[in-house]
Structure 1
């Protein structure tokens, strides 16, 4: 526990992240959640969590890529999301044991935070290691034995890569996630994410053992269903990996349906695990 360094968010006023941090803090505090920074790795990660209590299963949501790019060709100087959809999904989940993790360089910065960290290297081994470390510490706070990893958009990719390397993951849940990164890059005709891991290339055999559900927006032109279907085809036919389409684009309106949908998806994942 000595290595677990927690910082309340109140100290970030005046930083370049302040306005977006204030918005996230308001979303979390409305639900009685606590903000903290897990800062014992190269990337300090912003987290929020429901009041911790001992639990068998902790659901952890991982944020999307945020404001990684200002335009197709111009990267952002600050990837902190303007609208943290991943956080909104987390607080909309009616389960009692839920936590949220931002991505590297969102809300918090470090010497590792270059533009590459949220563009070409957004799913780098270093980012995966920082996420793993933060998950370990959230488990300690909740005295949890297992985790269900959930991720929105690029956070779903991070959740998948992290899940593949852990033995305590009960299941994987993604929302609007470009799980076949190569297919997503080809679909948009953009530069490959040269410093990043791709779940299809690195991890498909390991992911095949996990029960999982993937939610796609029927009106999503950022991550079309074809990208998620490409990931599903990379898994063995027997893999317990269902894909569910909902009436949403990439941002709206997953949160609206999430209080009812999240428990059903979690139940389906856990039923497959048994």
Structure 2
């Protein structure tokens, strides 16, 4: 028996919505399990623009805070269609945080990731596509850093992929950042978008434009030798733009953009960002 056209549309729409909810629930369950394995507690952080999902472990407020920022997540469902929910199926930023054994660890998801949409009335696909690094987003993420960082506490920012861009943009407006680490960081979205032949993002700030502002902060930028999404040349270009001896670039062999960076993270985290003496 054939269903009427309207009925067919309604059933297919319902099935798509159900699958999307199931995917989001599974992603959230995976994130909860990963966080629990690392003794990270869940907290929703209200900001002026968004309610952000975080996981944290704070046992020594007298020691520095390692702050992890998630990547762009599932921004697009196809080359031309934004996804309905940017929650990553595999939260690489959270996986990195879960491998960090230090006393104070905070993971922060990007706007509209993991947090129920009804708690984020401002969420629209613009915030995980063209406005993913906009002033609204950077300001909200910066407020979340302030929510966790105690007065006088040093902050070490770590960002995966697009989270690397946000780590740099946040560092440019703070005075308590002791170091920056990025993993496969999109540190020049204009160059990356040109490389892939996709639309520019004029409503987003670009990390490379503030390279000079963060130049005096010790920083390490890790790239995968096999990364074709954000090739090593992007981080190299950013380091050159800092024109300072505080920024270093390390190419990790046999790693692509979505390789198992968490497995490599304990060894990479042990490399301390430092400012080299000028000769």
Shared fold, TM over 0.5 = yes
2-structure distance, mates of 1:25, 1:79: 17
Does the CA-based 8 Å contact 1:42-1:130 persist in structure 2?
A: yes
* Secondary structure of the structure 1 residue equivalent to 2:270: helix
Does the CA-based 8 Å contact 2:152-2:176 persist in structure 1?
A: no
Which residue in 1 is equivalent to 2:261?
A: 254
Deviation at 1:153, TM superposition (A): 0.2
Which residue in 2 is equivalent to 1:41?
A: 48
Which residue in 1 is equivalent to 2:129?
A: 119
Does the CA-based 8 Å contact 1:219-1:248 persist in structure 2?
A: yes
- 2:172 maps to 1:169: no
Does the CA-based 8 Å contact 1:56-1:144 persist in structure 2?
A: no
- 2:251 maps to 1:245: yes
Q: Which runs of 4+ in 1 moved over 4 A?
A: none
Which residue in 2 is equivalent to 1:206?
A: 213
Which residue in 1 is equivalent to 2:36?
A: 29
| Contiguous gaps of at least 5 residues in structure 2 | 1-20
* Secondary structure of the structure 2 residue equivalent to 1:243: strand
Which residue in 1 is equivalent to 2:145?
A: 135
Deviations along 1:128-184, one digit per CA (max 9) or x if unpaired, are: 1111111011114xx661100000000000111000111000011000011011111
Deviation at 1:273, TM superposition (A): 8.7
- The RMSD of aligned alpha carbons is 1.8
Deviation at 1:15, TM superposition (A): 8.6
Aligned partner (choices 136, 140, 164) of residue 156 of structure 1: 164
Residues 1-274 of structure 1: pairs in structure 2 closer than 5 A: 17-108=24-115, 109=117, 110-140=120-150, 145-201=153-209, 203-236=210-243, 238-246=244-252, 247-264=254-271, 268-269=272-273, 271-272=274-275
| Contiguous gaps of at least 5 residues in structure 1 | 1-13
Greater Rg over alpha carbons, structure? 2
